[in-house]
A and B are shown apart, each in its own frame.
Chain A
Amino acid sequence: MAAVEETLQQIRSVTNERYKYGFVTDIEQETAPKGLDESTIAFISAKKEEPAWLLDWRLKAFRRWQEMPEPNWAKVSFPPIDYQDAYYYAAPKQKVAPNSLDEVDPELLRTYEKLGIPLDEQKVLAGVVAVDAVFDSVSVATTFKAKLAEAGVIFCSISEAVREHPDLVRKYLGSVVPTSDNYFAALNSAVFTDGSFVYVPPGVRCPMELSTYFRINAQNTGQFERTLIIADAGSYVSYLEGCTAPQRDENQLHAAVVELVALDDAEIKYSTVQNWYPGDENGVGGIYNFVTKRAACRGRNSKVSWTQVETGSAITWKYPSCILQGENSVGEFYSVAITNNRQQADTGTKMIHIGRNTRSRIISKGISAGRSDNTYRGLVRMLPGADNARNFTQCDSLLIGDQCGAHTVPYIESRTPTGQVEHEATTSKVSEDQLFYCRQRGIDEEEALALIVNGFCREVLQVLPMEFAVEAQKLVGISLEGSVG
């Protein structure tokens, strides 16, 4: 039997016990009544003690959403979603809002420990990463707030930002992803419950990495978080995002919106390791990950870099994009997407070149295994006036086994003669010979496969922040061992 085939069989024989984040936290919670109408939105807004303008904004989004058709152009298929058969708000019950970590429910702290995200500042190496922990619909804790405040950096939950920094929120919320942008963005605008808010003032280099850790726990609950990051002139911030969810047999919807704004000379580095529960080997359960992420490079010389490692979710529909408006602004997209079993991923980016001398770089590595489908879908558009704009795109696909699919769908639109667009794509497989070579050196099949796939992804993994890179490398191995094979 061929070595690849053997590897695949071995991998198949391992069940998805490897999804080690599949546990459920038993905690008393408070939910909105099931279903979605204007009263649900009023409920959420009231729960969060929001100002009238925000409720109004939500309701407009909701009315718009009701008129929109669900998009069907992505290469993914799933049974119709019953939007009335879900909860839109679920929060751990607590009597008073915690003022410090000491007041946070210990069960929640234990949950994050178990996920490898200690929220106790004492236990974290001083000044490494500040964390906003979002549990179902609410932010339960944000660490290192005081230390960040010294530098002038605002890092808090978006609910808190609405209360404490209304001018900033009002100015930027929906300015990158308008409420009517797309079906899932409209839904999110109507019902978003929490998420992170970051503001880095002019000239400040954020003293530590910021991170949000999203956890879906409750059953039948959608998660609709909203993240807004503003890097004011000359500032820099690196932001990390991680996600996990319990192993459940029904699908759960996660429809987030992330908006980034970079002003003159500012830089935002946004890294994601997405490990939502992917469903089992027969495609039962798993998260529907329908996310809108977009950055506006508004200032001259601004830069936004998206890096994503997508290994989880039953379905991923996600296109982190950059609007390159400022002269000399730079957009980057580095992506590893691994699909296994019955997973479906349709992911990529949009780079819209508006300003002069804008540059973009897209590196996408898709790995398909099992019976999965993996699609890169990307748009590079150069508008008139984007003189001397440059784009380089490299899309590589790797297939493991003969029951999966790999697809590349780039859209390239150029209306500026001095602009240059370069797109390359390749498709390949892990060769028998490579596997044999590794095995002859004493490396077993699964490890050899992980090694080769990690090598394939290297260009992307090496741009991740160090702590994330190690985790991501392991995840590459695990998702292929455990779920694929």
Chain B
Amino acid sequence: MLEIEDLRAEIDGKEILKGVSLSIGPGETHAIMGPNGSGKSTLSYVIAGRDGYEITGGSIRFLGEDLAEMEPEERARAGLFLAFQYPLEIPGVTTTTFLRTALNAHRKARGEDELDPMGFIKLVRAKTRALGIADDMLKRPVNVGFSGGEKKRNEVLQMALLEPRLAVLDETDSGLDIDALKVVADGVNALRDPQRSTLVITHYQRLLGYIVPDHVHILAGGRIVRSGGAELAEELEARGYAGVVPEAA
């Protein structure tokens, strides 16, 4: 699914990722944990193709394609979804319009017909019901005036609608209360199947209690310094970053 080899990347000439290697197979859930400033968010932005994040070495391949050659929207249409740590506000654009525009862009890329507004509303209502999200969110402008929890629910709704092959969750747990956390986790878990993979990026072990990873990696100083199973997250929780990876502290 996702093959990262010796990836190096910099922002404004400053090297942040210093040789990251990671392989995620179909159906797998991986977690990347790391202290602040370890390069976690940079990794997610490099995967999604944000401007200003320059790849200086190594490679990222997604479903066999070289991501470095693709525009952000091409990556998205190929099945890559990034749940943002800080979802953006788009004043005046209702969530419905935004979702429909995004979904139709995907459908068009796949050679399918675009959904008309009525057909779309039926589909999106089914998704909101399954996720336990209030329909009123659909009428409001994208993320404008949303609470932190609502913004993250909106991310999960978008993910449920676009049905990505790989979902990258960037600090999705930050600022969430327990109820919102469960909605998010349920949404992610509902999408889990042998053909889909998930990469959870987080500082804390909390979310991993709800989205149980197959593999856990610790990112520190721009490198993956340790990998293991779900138990590694628990070890981190018990001993802290300083205890588990002294070089990270």
Query: In the bound complex, do residue A452 and residue B90 qualify as a contact, i.e. CB atoms below 8 Å apart?
Result: yes
Q: Which residues of B contact A3 (CB under 8 A)?
A: 51
Provide the bound-state CA to CA distance between A392 and B158, in Å: 37
Known: A2-B51, A443-B101, A447-B105. A437 touches B91 (CB 8 A): no
User: A457 in the interface, Cβ–Cβ < 8 Å?
Assistant: yes
A442 contacts B105, CB within 8 Å? yes
- Distance, CA A5 to CA B73, complexed state (A): 16
Interface residue? B25 (CB, 8 A)? no
**B162 CB within 8 Å of chain A:** yes
Closest Cβ of chain B: how far from A449's Cβ, in Å?
12
Verify B93–A436 contact, CB threshold 8 A.
Answer: no
User: Is the Cβ of B71 less than 8 Å from the Cβ of A442?
Assistant: no
Establish whether residues A451 and B84, one from each chain, have CB atoms under 8 Å apart when the complex forms: no
Q: Are A458 and B51 in contact (CB under 8 A)?
A: no
Whether, in the assembled complex, A120 has its beta carbon less than 8 Å from a beta carbon of chain B, the answer is no
Minimum C-beta distance from A435 to chain B (A): 9
Residue of B nearest to A457 (CB): B92
B105: chain A residues within 8 A (beta carbon): 441-444, 447
Chain A contacts with B in 1-44, Cβ cutoff 8 A: 1-3
Q: Which residues of B (28-54) have their CB < 8 Å from a CB of A?
A: 48, 50-52
Residue B77 is within 8 A (CB to CB) of chain A in the complex: yes
A417 within 8 A of B: no
Residue of B nearest to A365 (CB): B92
Give the shortest distance, in Å, between A460 (CB) and chain B (any CB). 10
Are B51 and A442 neighbours in the complex by a CB distance under 8 Å?
A: no
CB contact list, A434-480 vs B, under 8 A: 434, 436-445, 447, 451-452, 454-459
Interface positions of B from 68 to 123, Cβ below 8 Å from A: 71-73, 75-77, 81-82, 84, 87-93, 97-98, 101-102, 105-106, 109
Q: Does B221 contact A (CB under 8 A)?
A: no
In the complex formed, the residue of A with least CB distance to B158 is A441
With a cutoff of 8 Å between Cβ atoms, the chain A residues found around residue B77 in the complex are: 442
Instruction: Give complex CA distance A69, B39 in Å.
Output: 66
Say whether B97 contacts A439, CB under 8 Å: no
Nearest-CB residue, chain B, relative to A473 = B97
Of A1, A433, A438, A447, most B-chain CB atoms within 10 Å: A438
Contact A437 B88 (CB under 8 A): yes
Q: How many residues in B have their beta carbons less than 8 Å from beta carbons of A? A: 31
B43 → chain A closest CB, angstroms? 15
> A444: which B residues are within 8 A, CB to CB?
71, 73, 105
Residues of B within 8 Å of A452, CB to CB, are 90, 93
B19 at the interface (CB under 8 A from A): no
Interchain CB contact (< 8 A) of B73 among A442, A451, A455, A459: A442
A427, B217: Cα distance in complex, Å = 44
- A434 to chain B: which residues have CB within 8 Å? 88-90
CB-defined contacts of B87 to chain A, threshold 8 Å = 437
A164 contacts partner chain B, Cβ-Cβ < 8 Å: no
A458 touches B92 (CB 8 A): yes
Q: How far is the CA of A134 from the CA of B18 in the complex (A)?
A: 68
A455→B72 contact, CB < 8 A: no
Q: Are A451 and B93 in contact (CB under 8 A)?
A: yes
Residues of A within 8 A of B76 (CB): 439-442
A56 at interface, CB cutoff 8 A? no
List the A residue with the shortest CB-CB distance to B77.
A442
Which A residues are in CB contact (< 8 Å) with B88? Answer: 431, 433-434, 437
Distance from B65 Cβ to chain A, minimum over Cβ atoms (Å): 15
A113 contacts the other chain (Cβ, under 8 Å)? Answer: no
Shortest CB–CB separation between residue B181 and chain A, in angstroms?
A: 22
User: Is residue B141 contacting chain A, with contact meaning CB distance below 8 A?
Assistant: yes
Q: Is the CB of A454 within 8 A of B72?
A: no
- Kindly supply a per-residue 1/0 record for chain A positions 408-440, scoring 1 wherever the CB is within 8 Å of any chain B CB and 0 otherwise: 000000000000000000000001111011111
* Residues in chain A near residue B162, CB distance under 8 A: 441-442
Given contacts A443-B101, A443-B102, contact A458 B73 (CB under 8 A): no
Contacts A441-B102, A458-B92 aside, 11 further interface pairs with beta carbons under 8 A come to A2-B51, A431-B88, A436-B48, A437-B84, A438-B90, A440-B84, A442-B73, A442-B106, A443-B102, A454-B92, A455-B91
> Which A residues lie at the B interface, using CB under 8 A?
1-3, 431-434, 436-445, 447, 451-452, 454-459
9 contacts between A and B (CB under 8 A): A436-B72, A440-B75, A442-B162, A447-B105, A451-B90, A452-B93, A455-B142, A458-B91, A458-B92
